Structure 1
Amino acid sequence: MNTPLHALSNADLHCHSVVSDGTLTPELLAARAKAHGVELWALTDHDEIGGQQRAINAARAQGLPYITGVEVSVTFAGKVVHIVGLGFDHTNEQLQSGLRATRGGRGARAQDMSDDLARAGIPGAYEGALKYAGNPELISRTHFARFLVESGHCTDVPEVFRRYLTEGKPGFVPHKWATLADTVRWIREAGGLAVIAHPGRYGFTPTEEYALITEFIAHGGRGIEVVTGSHTAADVLQYTDTALEFDLLASRGSDFHSPAESRVDLGKLEDHLSGRLTPVWSVLGDRIHWPSAH
């Protein structure tokens, strides 16, 4: 690695592969990250760490420093919040078991979503979505969205979420995810560090956001995403201040899913972390999988 760990700027610690709801393999993501100048990479599939060894191997083949990652779905204040875990032991049985349990309701939920869409005049949605997911255990709204675009019911994925699959619309079925306490504990006890993902997306009131952050810290959470593919410049400033106020480590990631769908490509985030912040990777040096030449 040419750039010292404390000096790197193009870390991308949030993206998804075909193992969850992305469209590229871990191997193709590693190559894309390297080609786009990523200096430290993490694959953070939803509620699943089955792609981690492939990502480690692929990053090593690209000469790319890698850190293990996952994005866990959590129910908090009636909404789904995402917690990213970084730098954990991906063979940890407790973490694997916890993620398996939180994935467990996806298959039945997907069938209910399909039934609801059928009542709205869209038959065959489960089978159509499954074609994109491959694994019923990991089927998600994103897979349904791709089917609805392919079948001509919507022109793009954003239209799907405006018309379907969100609360109050056809196809929306809530799912109770893991608790914040359990999620942070699984990550910590597997040797990792927990990070609140894209906080600007949740639409919490200031009181609700304060409750999320303080409870997260009370359970041992240590980081927050400041620069992400879904954050505006105003969000970056706001969560820079939040990280400083609560003494949280700052993280950065594109949340890349697909070349055709993602707002920001892997490695192409324009904003960088303020020099006033402590990057999450500054405390994770001993958990990075370095290329053999390091």
Structure 2
Amino acid sequence: MVYADLHVHTTASDGALTPETIPAAARSAGVDVVAVTDHDRLQPALDAPVTTLDGVTVIRGIELRVEAASGQRVDLLGYGARSTPALDEEIERLQRDRIERGRAIVDAVEDRTGVALGVDAHEGIGRPHIARAIADHPDLPQDYQGAFAELIGNDCPCYTARTLPTFERGREVLDEACALVGLAHPLRYDDPASALALTSDLDAVERYYPYGEAVDHEPVERSIREHDLVATGGSDAHDEQLGVAGLSEADYQPIEDALKRADES
């Protein structure tokens, strides 16, 4: 049974949950703790690093995409986030970039297909929003997966890249603002070994994650041992299903301890 699901998205980025619906979703899954980790922004309805919503502990977090020196793009998870000038500035820059990029992708899709998607380029916009609009359009043949495969995926004709902070910049900003900073889903990257090498400069790594296929977790376990990392885990939920992956109550204890230390400092 999952006690803590520490990777959840809301409508502040590309998820389906809201702060109001998180408690019911958590109770339905038997989850006691939820970390809201929206892409490149803090959920605006959460006003503290840790709060309680209808009996469910909710951690304010963030998932920040950065670019390593190798050129590989990876995601950092920050837990127990506080607003700081540096984080606020980076979030504002990233949201401007997301809006500009969203407009560019929508324009490219509309020019290529000759249809109007009716997508508003808003804060938090990502390719999933555009893919859903493509899939829902009656005059387009692509479903959600097809939208990525044929139009807006990496190297596809309507793709536009984002301008990302460096790994060093992202780590520095999150270190100042968060109780814990970890690497998300390390085995999803094209070069997992290179991604895991970055954990020598982090506090944690996502050990439990729904990869959807059999994977060898030993490289992650080895990084945890070698760098004395906290093991985190979560569903990476973009829908309303929580508890697909996460931590037991015992495994959650180091995260709870780190959050308490940050609150006392």
Q: Which amino acid aligns with 2:115?
A: P
The percent identity for this pair of structures is 26
Correspondence for 2:258: 284
Mapped to 2, the partners of 1:162 and 1:80 lie a distance apart of: 19
Q: Which contiguous aligned blocks of 4+ residues in structure 1 show a shift greater than 4 angstroms?
A: 54-57, 277-280
> Deviation at 1:52?
5.0
| RMSD, aligned CA | 2.9
> Please, which of 242, 248, 260 is the counterpart of residue 223 of structure 2?
242
TM-score scaled to structure 1, two decimals? 0.77
Correspondence for 1:34: 27
> Deviation at 1:237?
4.4
Correspondence for 1:129: 119
Per-residue deviation, residues 138-173 of structure 1 (Å, max 9, x unmatched): 211011011011114355422222222122212211
> Please, which of 122, 130, 134 is the counterpart of residue 148 of structure 1?
134
| Counterpart secondary structure, 2:222 | helix
Is the counterpart of residue 223 in structure 1 residue 195 in structure 2?
no
Is the counterpart of residue 18 in structure 1 residue 48 in structure 2?
no
Question: Structure 2: which 5+ residue stretches go unaligned?
Answer: none
> Please, which of 81, 87, 90 is the counterpart of residue 80 of structure 2?
87
| Counterpart secondary structure, 2:59 | coil
| Counterpart secondary structure, 1:226 | strand
Correspondence for 1:115: 107
Mapped to 2, the partners of 1:116 and 1:143 lie a distance apart of: 15
| Counterpart secondary structure, 1:21 | coil
Q: Which amino acid aligns with 2:205?
A: I
Mapped to 1, the partners of 2:186 and 2:221 lie a distance apart of: 11
Relative to structure 1, the CA distance from residue 227 to residue 37 in structure 2 (aligned partners, 3 Å threshold; closer, same or farther) is: same
> Deviation at 1:194?
0.8
Correspondence for 2:160: 173
Mapped to 2, the partners of 1:251 and 1:192 lie a distance apart of: 13
Does the 8 Å contact 2:81/2:178 carry over to 1?
Answer: yes
TM-score scaled to structure 2, two decimals? 0.85
Does the 8 Å contact 1:14/1:252 carry over to 2?
Answer: yes
Question: Structure 1: which 5+ residue stretches go unaligned?
Answer: 1-7, 260-264, 290-294
Is the counterpart of residue 268 in structure 1 residue 244 in structure 2?
yes
Q: Which amino acid aligns with 1:226?
A: R
Does the 8 Å contact 2:132/2:144 carry over to 1?
Answer: yes
> Deviation at 1:72?
0.6
Correspondence for 2:187: 200
| Counterpart secondary structure, 2:57 | coil
Higher strand share: 2
Does the 8 Å contact 1:40/1:66 carry over to 2?
Answer: yes
Per-residue deviation, residues 191-220 of structure 1 (Å, max 9, x unmatched): 4211101111111163xx1xx4444533xx
Mapped to 2, the partners of 1:85 and 1:172 lie a distance apart of: 27
| Counterpart secondary structure, 1:42 | strand
Is the counterpart of residue 75 in structure 1 residue 56 in structure 2?
no
Between the two proteins, the alignment pairs up a number of residues equal to 260
| Counterpart secondary structure, 1:17 | coil
Does the 8 Å contact 2:179/2:262 carry over to 1?
Answer: no
Mapped to 2, the partners of 1:156 and 1:266 lie a distance apart of: 24
Relative to structure 1, the CA distance from residue 237 to residue 156 in structure 2 (aligned partners, 3 Å threshold; closer, same or farther) is: farther
Does the 8 Å contact 2:196/2:223 carry over to 1?
Answer: no
Mapped to 2, the partners of 1:235 and 1:24 lie a distance apart of: 31
Mapped to 1, the partners of 2:6 and 2:228 lie a distance apart of: 20
Is the counterpart of residue 255 in structure 1 residue 248 in structure 2?
no
